[in-house]
Amino acid sequence: MESPFDTIVAPITAPGRAAVAAVRVSGPNAYLVARATFPSLPLEPEPRKAIYGWFRHGDDGLALPFSSDSYTGEPCVELFIHGSPTSVRMLMDDCLAAGARLAGPGEFTLRAFANGRIDLSQAEAVAETVDAQTQTQLKAAGGQLAGALARALQPALDRVEETIVLYEATLDFSEEIGPINSLETVDAIRKAEATISEVLQWERPTQLVREGLRVALVGRPNAGKSSLFNRLAGSDRAIVTPIPGTTRDVLETTLDVRGIPVTLFDTAGLRSKAETVEQIGIQRAISAARHAHVILYLYDCQIGLIEEDTRNLHALESPVLIATKADLPHSPTKDLEVSAETGDGLTKFLDQLVDSAAEIELPYLLNPRHTSALRNAQNALGEAIAGIGVEAAPELILPALYHATGELRQILGLGVAPDVLDQIFAKFCIGK
For 251, what's the count of Cα atoms within 13 Å in the CB-facing half-sphere?
21
Contact call for residue 345 and ligand GTP (CB under 6 A): no
CA-based angle 244:248:252, to the nearest 5?
A: 115
From ligand GTP, Mg ion, none, which one binds at residue 223 (CB under 5 to 8 Å depending on kind)?
A: ligand GTP
φ, ψ of residue 106 to 5 degrees: the values are 70, 5
Contact call for residue 269 and ligand GTP (CB under 6 A): yes
What x-and-dash track marks residues 229-258 binding Mg ion by CB under 5 A? -----------------xx-----------
Contact call for residue 256 and ligand GTP (CB under 6 A): no
Least distance in angstroms from the C-beta of 341 to ligand GTP: 3
Contact call for residue 222 and Mg ion (CB under 5 A): no
From ligand GTP, Mg ion, none, which one binds at residue 222 (CB under 5 to 8 Å depending on kind)?
A: ligand GTP
- Interface pick for Mg ion out of 3, 185, 226, 312 (rule CB under 5 A): 226
- Interface pick for ligand GTP out of 244, 304, 343, 399 (rule CB under 6 A): 244
Total of chain residues touching ligand GTP, rule CB under 6 A = 24
Between residues 19 and 272, which has the closer beta carbon with respect to ligand GTP? Answer: 272
The CA distances from residue 281 to 246, 251, 268, 270, 417, in Å, are 10, 11, 6, 9, 48
| Cα-only R_g, the chain | 29
Contact call for residue 245 and ligand GTP (CB under 6 A): yes
- Interface pick for ligand GTP out of 223, 365, 408, 424 (rule CB under 6 A): 223
Q: Which of 375, 371, 134, 89 is nearest to 263 (CA)?
A: 134
d(C-alpha 198, C-alpha 312), whole Å? 39
Look at strands 101-102 and 8-11 and give their pairing.
parallel
d(C-alpha 63, C-alpha 38), whole Å? 8
d(C-alpha 97, C-alpha 29), whole Å? 13
d(C-alpha 212, C-alpha 206), whole Å? 9
Tell me which residues in 224-243 interact with ligand GTP (CB under 6 A): 224-227, 240-242
Between residues 106 and 281, which has the closer beta carbon with respect to ligand GTP? Answer: 281
d(C-alpha 55, C-alpha 33), whole Å? 12
Our measurement of the distance from residue 214's CA atom to the centroid of its chain's CA atoms, rounded to an integer in Å, reads 16
Contact call for residue 221 and ligand GTP (CB under 6 A): yes
From ligand GTP, Mg ion, none, which one binds at residue 335 (CB under 5 to 8 Å depending on kind)?
A: none
The residue ranges that bind Mg ion (CB under 5 A) are: 225-226, 246-247
